[in-house]
Amino acid sequence: MPVTLVVCSNDDNLLHRTTNSLQAESHINDSTALPIWRIAIELLLVFAVFFLHGAWPVPDVNEPHYLSKAKHYWDSSWCANDFFVNTADAHQVFYWTFGWITRFFSLDQTAWIGRILTWALLAWAWRRLSWAVLPRAWLAILSAELFVLLNENAHMAGEWVVGGIEAKGFAYVLVFLGLEAVVRSRWNKAWLLFGAASSFHVIVGGWAAVAGGIAWLATSDDRPLLKTMLPGLMGGLVLALPGLWFALSLTRGADPATVHAANAIYVWQRLPHHLAADRFKEGFPSRHLMMWGLWLAMITLWPSDSAGRRLRWFVGATMLLSVVGYLLVWIGGWMPDAAAAFLRFYWFRMSDVFVPVGVSLVGLTIIDQLGQTKPRAKRLWLAALILLSAYDLWLQTGHLPLNAVFPDAAVVVPRSDKNLVYDDWLQTCAWIKGHTGSNDVFLTPRMSSTLRFYAGRSEVVNWKDFPQDAAGIVEWWKRMFDVHTLPNDNPQWEGKKLDPAMLAKATPPKFVESLALVGPAKLSELGQKYGAQYAIVQYGPDIPRLPGTPEFESGKPHTQDLHYAVYRLPIPER
């Protein structure tokens, strides 16, 4: 902003005072020039925002998946006979850098250590990004809350950033730092950070690098020459190599038919709610596309400087990826095999994250600019957003696991156990941990995923723990059919090969409500086939009891309430 200095000869101190004032004003654009206590408080409050949103009871949705893999990676004797943990590892950099903690702490302690570390790093990265776009003290706190609020409530494909511990949490830390470098036109640094993110999570880091490349191509007014970025590009590629290597190894050695079948299972049967736009949860695409409209209105009606244009092109590139995803879903109508081969790369996840990033940061920038001409309007907008944020943060307290500190507080069911009878499941796992061998294998309810987490015992298969390698995916699908379906319930699948076209068009199979419905003979046969010593069955009003006496029953076994029973295999016929 141009400033005119007027210096009077009879006041020698005026120039000195004015210069100091200007220097102080210019330094506010650099967050590192603030007092340490201000920086610390701002970081702590951004962390508090992330904590309130992410502090669900342990384990969260994906924590049994990632932490089981991490623990087995460092101790192969733990759940040595479990199918899932013995499949190929897609996130070995995460296991190298964080998984070793499982050797010294329990899984629930490891989850909290990982969460706090991830949220602290995300708070640091977010504050840097917010200051790069909107250099105003304290607004990083508000922008962080608005980002998480929009990401949680206006996503399209279910992608999230603030939550439980897993590989992509560390990847997003590096991507936010990389986007900050893009905004500040520090391209070599950006490529290095995107490469490191790809090593932790090849899809998150890889798509960020693509979006950064589009932003570089589009901002021609101050674009650096390609040759000047070669150090960063080459260094980023080297940093990304571990993630790329392990990703490519997921199909290594598998024949083409297995790879095609695995892609179809992955996209059309197991994860269409993340990968295929025509099968997203109803209402979510429309909400997200409304946010697209808000974003397009913002960047059309309000001008921006070169730094802002780099941010806008980065966000626009993530939207372009979603457009390509829609085209692939359309192509899947008559070329499902080819479409699945590409749709498995999560084309929609970056828009879920970075459109909220753009709306929160650019929206606050626009409101901040209102202060130059309409200061009252700026105050009203900020007051409204602060009230909205405070209300949302208050709502987040409802899922905090306060019973861990205050025994009389209400118990909140972890999101990983939302499909189970939680208290009875905990009782069952506790009995299994104390009364069965560490190498025993269990047939478990289809929607359970926490037997390893609570009891440290191996499973034959469950719906949540989905392998990443082609051979493992096909084997998982066969096990799901073998264990959790009855042939008469799925005539359209009977005798069908794993043809990609059939997998794309077929309705999902009908799974049994309880393993008790499979019958004692089939359970005993499955135990022999997969080396399982026990079966956990769920009972309810419409589920007939198996013959024989279970080793354990949870809850109220002689009532009609839902509960679990543990049977030793083989089960004798009636």
> At a CB cut-off of 8 Å and minimum separation 6, what does 233 contact?
191
Parent domain of 65: 34-399
Confidence of residue 507 (pLDDT cuts 50, 70, 90): confident
> Do 440 and 329 sit in the same domain of this protein?
no
Please, are residues 360 and 150 in contact by the beta-carbon 8 Å criterion? yes
242 and 295 share a domain?
yes
Is residue 348 located within the same domain as residue 298? yes
- Residue 564: DSSP 8-state: E
Instruction: Please give the Cα distance from 292 to 358 (Å, whole number).
Output: 10
Let me know if residue 29 belongs to a domain.
Answer: no
Distance, in Å, from the CA atom of 471 to the CA atom of 345, rounded to the nearest integer, reads: 18
The token pair that represents 545 in the structure block: 């009891």
Q: Please, which pLDDT band fits residue 30 given cuts at 50, 70 and 90?
A: low
Do 395 and 421 fall into the same domain?
no
In a domain, residue 20? The reply is: no
- Max distance between CA atoms of the chain, in angstroms, equals 110
**28 part of a folded domain:** no
Whether 486 is in a domain gets the answer: no
Q: Count other C-beta atoms under 10 Å from residue 25's C-beta.
A: 11
Q: Tell whether 409 is covered by a domain.
A: no
Whether pLDDT at 17 is above 60: no
Confidence at residue 371, expressed as pLDDT on a 0 to 100 scale: 87
Cα 432 to Cα 174: distance, rounded to the nearest angstrom: 41
pLDDT-derived band at 574, boundaries 50, 70, 90: low
Residue with tokens 């009609």: 560
Percent of the chain with pLDDT over 90: 82
Confidence class for position 2, pLDDT limits 50, 70, 90: very low
Q: Are 380 and 524 contained in the same domain?
A: no
CA nearest neighbour of 182 among 119, 136, 224, 154: 224
Q: What is the pLDDT of residues 156-197, one digit of tens each?
A: 999 999 999 999 999 999 999 999 999 999 999 999 999 999
Tell me, what's the pLDDT at 32? 61
Within a domain: residue 370? yes
Considering the domain architecture, whether residues 393 and 421 belong to the same structural domain is answered as: no
User: Who has greater pLDDT, 489 or 291?
Assistant: 291
Structure tokens at 353: 């994250």
Q: Does residue 285 sit in the same domain as residue 393? A: yes
Structure tokens at 153: 């409530």
Residue ending a domain, among 345, 364, 399, is: 399
Residue 273: name the closest of 156, 163, 420, 160 by CA: 156
Question: Could you give the CA distance from residue 402 to residue 290 in angstroms, rounded to a whole number?
Answer: 36
Whether 1 has a pLDDT exceeding 60, the answer reads no
At residue 407 the predicted structure's pLDDT band, cuts being 50, 70 and 90, is confident
Question: pLDDT at residue 497 above 80?
Answer: no
Residue 101, domain member (yes or no)? yes
pLDDT in tens, 450-490: 999 999 999 999 999 999 999 999 999 999 999 999 988 88
Among the listed residues 371, 396, 368, the one whose alpha carbon sits nearest the alpha carbon of residue 138: 368
370 pLDDT higher than 80: yes
Q: What is the dihedral of CA 514, 517, 519, 520, to 10 degrees?
A: 30
* Average of per-residue pLDDT across 276-299: 95
Angle at CA of residue 111, ends 108 and 114, nearest 5°: 150
Which residues, 6 or more positions from 218, have their beta carbon under 8 angstroms from its beta carbon?
Answer: 309, 313, 316
31-61: per-residue pLDDT in tens? 567 889 999 999 999 999 999 999 999 999 9
Same domain? For 361 and 264 the reply is: yes
If one counts every other C-beta atom within 10 angstroms of the C-beta of residue 100, the result is 14
DSSP string covering 505-561, please? HSPPPPPPS-GGGG-HHHHHHHHHHHT--EEEEEE-TTSPPPSS--SEE-S-TTSSS
| Claim to verify: residue 164 and residue 199 sit in the same structural domain | yes
Separation between Cα atoms, residue 303 and residue 122, nearest integer Å: 29
Q: What is the pLDDT at residue 488?
A: 84
Instruction: Give the pLDDT of residue 559.
Output: 61
> For position 256, what pLDDT does the model report?
93
The number of folded domains in the chain is: 2
pLDDT of residue 361 exceeding 60, the answer is yes
- Distance, CA of 331 to CA of 329 (rounded, Å): 5
| Amino acid (1-letter code) at residue 572 | P
Quick one: pLDDT at residue 437? 97
Structure-token match 């600019």, residue found: 369
Among 339, 371, 399, the domain boundary falls at: 399
Q: Which of 258, 222, 313 is nearest to 500 (CA)?
A: 258
CA distance 457 to 429: 9
pLDDT confidence bin for 261, thresholds 50/70/90: very high
Q: Which residues contact 526 (CB under 8 A, 6 or more apart)?
A: 443, 460, 482, 483, 518, 532, 535
Higher pLDDT, residue 57 or 301: 57
- Say whether both 130 and 230 belong to one domain: yes
Distance of alpha carbon 540 from alpha carbon 24, whole angstroms: 70
Residue 18: predicted pLDDT = 36
Q: Residue 356 above 80 pLDDT?
A: yes
Q: What is the mean pLDDT of residues 247-256?
A: 93
In a domain? residue 139: yes
Residues 96-113, mean pLDDT to the nearest whole number = 97
Q: What is the mean pLDDT of residues 393-398?
A: 96
Measured distance CA(573)–CA(548) in Å, rounded = 8
Q: Over the stretch 416-449, which tens digit does the pLDDT of each residue have?
A: 999 999 999 999 999 999 999 999 999 999 999 9
* Predicted confidence (pLDDT) per residue in 519-567, tens digit: 999 999 999 999 999 999 999 888 989 998 999 999 866 666 778 999 9
Min mean pLDDT across 6-10, 346-350, 431-435 is at: 6-10
Mean pLDDT of 142-154: 98
In this structure, the answer to whether residues 333 and 451 fall within a common structural domain is no
How many CB atoms lie under 10 A from the CB of residue 98?
24
567 and 523 Cβ atoms separated by less than 8 Å: yes
Model confidence pLDDT, tens digit, residues 61-73: 999 999 999 999 9
215: Cβ contacts below 8 Å, ≥ 6 apart: 182, 310, 313, 314, 317
- In terms of Cα–Cα distance, which of 513, 510, 571 is closest to 546? 571
Q: What is the CA radius of gyration of the chain?
A: 27
Q: What is the mean pLDDT of the chain?
A: 91
Other C-beta atoms closer than 10 Å to the C-beta of 237 total 15
Q: Given this model, what pLDDT does residue 222 score?
A: 82
Query: How many angstroms separate the first and last alpha carbons of the chain?
Result: 88
In this structure, are residues 66 and 166 in contact, taking their beta carbons and an 8 Å threshold?
yes
User: Which of these three, 399, 429, 446, is where a domain ends?
Assistant: 399
What whole-number distance in Å separates Cα of residue 332 and Cα of residue 279? 12
Residues 351 and 450 in one domain: no
DSSP classification of residue 269: I
